Amino acid sequence: MMYGIAILPSAEINEFANSYRKRFDPYYRVISPHITVREKEEWTEEQLQAAISHLEDLSRTVSPFQITFNRFSSYFPVNNVIYLALEQVEPVIDLHDKLCTGPLVDTEKAYNYHPHLTIGQKLGADELHDVLASVKNTPVDFSFHVDSFQLLGKQENGEWSVIRSFPLQG
């Protein structure tokens, strides 16, 4: 089964992100707005159990933190993705780095980790530029308290759901 680890934002941020995602993200119906902390990958049952144990231990040592989305941005020209950008990425990068150790060590990264919330992807170049032009001056100021992260699993119907939530207790 495919698994991934993410932070799920507040309902207010979900509503804002989904107002764009329903038009610009083909995965709108299969996964809710999220900040990926660890990319999806196939795990065996043994790998899943080792990961859960690791995530339980990690969640006991990491303190809750605040994050703020403050603008729209894009990965163009590397990738035609539009996303909500974080004002300060360090707390999420720190969580990612701590998480990607032990049984979840990640040695084959194709790119540096950059936390964000995707609102549009798989866009053509013209559409990407049109959407960016229309949102670049849209004020964005959403903060929320991150007090947990979630282990997600991809179901047989292709939808992603929360398998387990790990509260931050540090």
- pLDDT of residue 88 exceeding 80, the answer is yes
* CATH homologous superfamily, domain 2-167: Cyclic phosphodiesterase (3.90.1140.10)
Question: Taking the model in full, what pTM does it have?
Answer: 0.94
Q: Are 159 and 27 in contact (CB under 8 A)?
A: no
Average pLDDT score over residue span 82-97: 96
CA angle 76, 101, 70 (to 5 degrees): 35
pLDDT at 122: 94
Q: Which stretches does DSSP call E strand in the chain?
A: 2-7, 35-42, 65-74, 82-86, 117-120, 142-146, 148-154, 160-167
Q: Are 160 and 31 in contact (CB under 8 A)?
A: yes
Give the whole-angstrom CA distance, residue 67 versus residue 88: 7
Give the whole-angstrom CA distance, residue 88 versus residue 92: 8
Q: Are 163 and 152 in contact (CB under 8 A)?
A: yes
Give the list of residues 6+ apart from residue 160 with CB closer than 8 angstroms, or none.
4, 30, 31, 32, 152, 153, 154
- Residue 85 CA: distances (Å) to CA of 12, 68, 71, 158: 16, 8, 5, 27
Average pLDDT of the chain, as a whole number? 94
Q: Which residues are catalytic?
A: 34, 116
- Report the range of poorest mean pLDDT among 25-29, 76-80, 82-86, 158-162: 76-80
Q: Which two tokens stand for residue 117?
A: 């919330």
- pLDDT of residue 112 exceeding 90, the answer is no
